[in-house]
């Protein structure tokens, strides 16, 4: 044990070593897989560069499923992979806005591209649309998802503030479209703590000709 190489905290493929597990013909470590499962692995199998253990077994299942459904080169498949990465893989750029906020994917979609594909095709999916969560604090699941254009999706982002004026409530993007004012102009006015009436009604100063 004194000569044991401490692997705690290290990443091997999809596995992150959590803690020492036991010794039986070598040291074994408890690992957390990116998919959420815990898995105990022999240290030698973790450190082996070729043929080593890289997941709890989910990677092999995915590779098998990918060969089965034949959709790995489609846009819809990349949507599914991106969704799973945002929620499950802490080393991806957008994880902080999804998985780190507690947003997850329902089991039906997380474990099967075919189930996700069936839902997508039955609910209006077509090229050019993106998956959008109706409740930005909710999970990826059939009840909380729809297909939307990038503009519609942008309007639904949690940082797109809503304003109420004359009994009508819309987010900044929707007010910008209705009034013909650049959204960034409305955002700047909001940051300056203008009143709602000033934000939406103050005329834009035209630049003087040089």
Task: Note the pLDDT tens digit of each residue in 29-47.
Answer: 999 988 888 899 999 889 8
What is the arithmetic mean of pLDDT over 143-156? 74
Distance between CA atoms of residues 157 and 139, nearest Å = 14
pLDDT at 76 over 80: yes
Give me the residue spans of the domains in the chain.
1-56, 58-155, 162-201
The pLDDT of residue 71 is 66
> What global pTM score does this model have?
0.47
The pLDDT of residue 167 is 85
Pull the structure tokens for residue 202.
């103050």
Residue whose C-alpha is closest to residue 156's, from 174, 176, 139, 168: 174
pLDDT at 160 over 70: no
Residue whose C-alpha is closest to residue 140's, from 80, 95, 62: 80
The pLDDT of residue 20 is 93
Distance between CA atoms of residues 95 and 201, nearest Å = 38
CB 129 within 8 A of CB 148: yes
The pLDDT of residue 153 is 60
For the ranges 48-52, 140-144, 204-208, which has the lowest average pLDDT?
Answer: 204-208
- Cβ burial of 45 (10 Å; 0-12, 13-18, 19+) is middle
Which pLDDT band holds residue 210 (cuts at 50, 70, 90)? very low
Strand (E) or helix (H) holding 162: strand 162-165
Helix (H, G, I), strand (E, B) or coil at 23: strand
What is the arithmetic mean of pLDDT over 193-201? 86
Residue whose C-alpha is closest to residue 13's, from 72, 82, 89: 89
pLDDT at 116 over 90: yes
Q: How many CB atoms lie within 10 A of CB 10?
A: 14
């Amino acid at each position: 044990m004194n000569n044991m190489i401490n692997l705690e905290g290290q990443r091997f493929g999809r596995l992150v070593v959590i803690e020492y597990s036991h010794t039986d013909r070598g040291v074994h470590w408890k690992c957390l897989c990116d998919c959420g499962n815990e898995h105990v692995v022999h240290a030698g199998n973790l450190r082996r560069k070729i043929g080593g253990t890289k997941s709890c077994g989910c990677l092999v299942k995915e590779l098998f499923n990918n060969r089965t459904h034949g959709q790995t080169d489609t846009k819809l498949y990349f949507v599914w992979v991106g969704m799973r990465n945002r929620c499950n893989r802490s080393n991806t750029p957008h994880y902080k806005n999804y998985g780190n906020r507690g947003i997850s994917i329902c089991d039906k979609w997380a474990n099967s591209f075919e189930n996700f594909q069936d839902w997508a095709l039955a609910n209006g999916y077509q090229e050019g649309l993106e998956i959008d969560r109706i409740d930005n604090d909710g999970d990826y699941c059939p009840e909380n998802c729809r297909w939307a254009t990038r503009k519609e999706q942008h309007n639904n982002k949690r940082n797109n503030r809503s304003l109420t004026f004359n009994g009508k409530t819309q987010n900044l993007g929707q007010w910008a479209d209705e009034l013909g004012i650049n959204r960034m102009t409305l955002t700047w006015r909001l940051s300056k703590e203008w009143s709602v009436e000033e934000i939406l009604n103050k005329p834009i100063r035209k630049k003087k000709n040089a």
